[in-house]
Amino acid sequence: MLKYLAIFCFIVHGSLLAQDVEQVVSDAKNFFKQDPFTLQGGIGANMVFYDAKGIANRRDPFYWALNGNLNITILGKISCPLTFTITQQDKNFTNGLDKFSQPFNQFGISPRYKWLTVHAGYRTMEFSEHSLSGSLFLGGGVEVAPTKGIFSGSAAFGRFLKAIPAGGVQGVTVSLPAYERWGGAAKLKIGKERNNVELVYFRAADNKNSIPFDTANNILPAENQIFGLKFVKLFGEKLTVQGAYHFSMLNPNTFLPVTKIERFTYINKIWSPRANSRFNSSYLFQVDYDLKGYRIGAKFKRVDPDYASLGAVFITNDVQEISGSLGKQLLKNRLNLNVSLGVQQNNLDRMQIATQRRIASSASANISLIKNTNINLSYNNFSTDVVAIQDVFYDSIRLTQVNETGTASINYSIGKDIKQTVNLNTTYQESGGNKQASSAIFMLNPSYSLQFIKQNIGFTVAGSYNTNAFSGNHTVNFGPTVGVNTSFFKRKCKVGSNFSYQNSTTNDVLSNRNYAIASFINYSITKSQVLKISHAFIHKKAVVATAQDFIENRLTIAYNYSFSTSYRKLKTHFSRTETNE
């Protein structure tokens, strides 16, 4: 890992030497003429009170959280965004339960000076979809993106998982056991935005001695190493070609002894193979072409069945996809049309007893032909064939499933002093197949709002109608919603309330009546301080004996403070204070 980071730093260092020396000298002269520091951002505190009757509590009766989002600017050049979250969970776990969960309290800072960004604390960094992507880690990172030259890159290192032993406190289990996991990544980019090549490296490993060996939960220490190559190439101004390749080496159980690979011996120098080592790849190739208002695209994607990354939150493996797309803008972009068609298949290594083939097609339209009116239409069709081999002497079993979804939304808005808005959203989804019962879902949600701008008062009327037909059953949920909002004290205090009533029926028999009231008060104490109080009441009233009757109450109190100050402002303020005294 250190060897690859050293190579990365050496290449980036060469790029830094190519920067304009005169500009650096000029910046140095003006550096100390700036305000020493400025501070802006906000902090917030939230308290939530919860109570339920008729059912078990679905969350803690009391919960609090503190959060902050600050930005410190030093000498007008160095920007330091700082974020933190402190929650009540860790306080409740002082009896020892905290060691059985990943940390809830988090903090992080990312100072930036021109093209150099440094990360510290709890951070996420994106290297590539199939290496380090979206995983939160406690550690540090750096991003180097010079405006001149063709080299840029990033690197990261930290703890991805805290060690969690099996068990809990007094029968309470917060999360599954986990080995302590450390890892790092590096990326080198050569070229500019639409013409570049990226080299990606990722490595992570679990500390197998961080927790006692656990057989009950089948938790094993793993290690992973990934090499990646990405590229983007623009030909002329119309044709864009891009692709990616990742090679993953995974040891799912590092308790096994290290072995040697006889065929590809070079792997032994960069990896510690074991009996259950997995070597898998992922591929992506995509072409997009712009032609007189048309955008034509084609994509090929393949991810091997056992491909995995210890640094990615989610990866869909065992899939091969071939798809095409077509887009067209008409009438000065007031009409946008898009269609796509693709084929997906799994069981790429033929090791499963069934192969699933899926045809996916979609079409969408965005229409803005009428003044103050916007219309969105979409249609999706997913057809799936599953071929299961029952016996080598008999024909295979074929299962077919079709899912169709259509959506439509219309928005119409008029008025300036008296603003009226009409929304209509509808969705229809149907699924079925040759081996299963069909189902159909229909949702209709209209709404109308009337806002008197000068009088600071508004009204909303909405409705909902949802049906679901499946396996011979038919459920319907329908009802209205009414709401009002206004403001007082020169709009410093905003209040509002919504009331919803909904009936639920099953096979034309009424089963529940649901009531919900949601109210809020937002008061601006000063320009920088806001107090928010909201309350939600839900009553699910059972009509038949088989239905459940319960009441839930949730009260939320939030305080937000935003500010913007600087060294010179503070100095002036304290100077005036001393003069007045």
Position with higher pLDDT, 126 vs 262: 126
Is residue 94 within 8 Å of residue 100, measured between CB atoms? no
pLDDT band with cut points at 50, 70 and 90 for residue 373 = very high
pLDDT of 80 reads 93
pLDDT of 359 reads 86
φ and ψ at 132, to 5 degrees? -100, 115
pLDDT for 32 beyond 60: no
Q: What are the residues whose beta carbons fall under 8 Å from the beta carbon of 572, sequence distance 6 or more?
A: none
In angstroms, the CA 385 to CA 401 distance is 6
Q: Which of 25-29, 250-254, 371-375, 445-449 has the lowest mean pLDDT?
A: 25-29
CATH of 172-580, one of 2.40.160, 2.40.30, 3.40.630, 2.30.230: 2.40.160
Q: Which of 65-69, 171-175, 231-235, 553-557 has the lowest mean pLDDT?
A: 171-175
The predicted-structure confidence for 58-85, as pLDDT tens digits, reads as follows: 777 888 899 999 999 988 888 999 999 9
The predicted-structure confidence for 169-222, as pLDDT tens digits, reads as follows: 444 455 678 899 999 999 999 999 889 999 999 999 999 999 888 765 778 999
Position with higher pLDDT, 163 vs 16: 163
**Position of tokens 């030909």?**
235
Is residue 508 within 8 Å of residue 474, measured between CB atoms? yes
In angstroms, the CA 546 to CA 534 distance is 33
Q: What are the residues whose beta carbons fall under 8 Å from the beta carbon of 106, sequence distance 6 or more?
A: 83, 84, 85, 121, 122, 136
Segment 413-431 mean pLDDT: 93
Q: What are the residues whose beta carbons fall under 8 Å from the beta carbon of 532, sequence distance 6 or more?
A: 520, 521, 522, 523, 556, 557, 558, 559, 560
pLDDT for 434 beyond 60: no
pLDDT for 449 beyond 70: yes
- DSSP for 367-385 reads E--STTEEEEEEEEEEEEE
Q: What residue segments make up the domains of the chain, in order of their start?
A: 172-580
253 three-class SS: coil
pLDDT for 14 beyond 60: no
In angstroms, the CA 206 to CA 224 distance is 9
Segment 383-407 mean pLDDT: 59
In angstroms, the CA 427 to CA 243 distance is 35
In angstroms, the CA 560 to CA 526 distance is 11
Is residue 102 within 8 Å of residue 115, measured between CB atoms? no
- DSSP for 415-450 reads -SSEEEEEEEEEEEEEEEETTEEEEEEEEEEEEEEE
pLDDT of 95 reads 45
In angstroms, the CA 342 to CA 344 distance is 7
pLDDT for 161 beyond 60: yes
Nearest to 476, CA basis, from 449, 446, 509: 509
Is residue 536 within 8 Å of residue 10, measured between CB atoms? no
pLDDT for 17 beyond 70: no
Q: What are the residues whose beta carbons fall under 8 Å from the beta carbon of 200, sequence distance 6 or more?
A: 127, 128, 131, 185, 186, 187, 226, 227, 228, 229, 230, 246
pLDDT for 103 beyond 50: yes
pLDDT for 301 beyond 80: yes
pLDDT band with cut points at 50, 70 and 90 for residue 90 = very low
The predicted-structure confidence for 313-324, as pLDDT tens digits, reads as follows: 888 888 899 999
Is residue 229 within 8 Å of residue 245, measured between CB atoms? yes
Is residue 141 within 8 Å of residue 168, measured between CB atoms? no
pLDDT of 283 reads 96
Other Cβ atoms less than 10 A from the Cβ of 418: the count is 12
Segment 231-249 mean pLDDT: 95
| Total number of residues shown for the chain | 581
How does DSSP classify residue 93?
A: G
Segment 112-125 mean pLDDT: 94
DSSP element (H, E) containing 329 = strand 319-330
Is residue 556 within 8 Å of residue 47, measured between CB atoms? yes
The token duo for 241 is 């070609």
In angstroms, the CA 425 to CA 485 distance is 23
Is residue 250 within 8 Å of residue 222, measured between CB atoms? yes
Is residue 565 within 8 Å of residue 573, measured between CB atoms? no
Q: What is the mean pLDDT of the chain?
A: 85
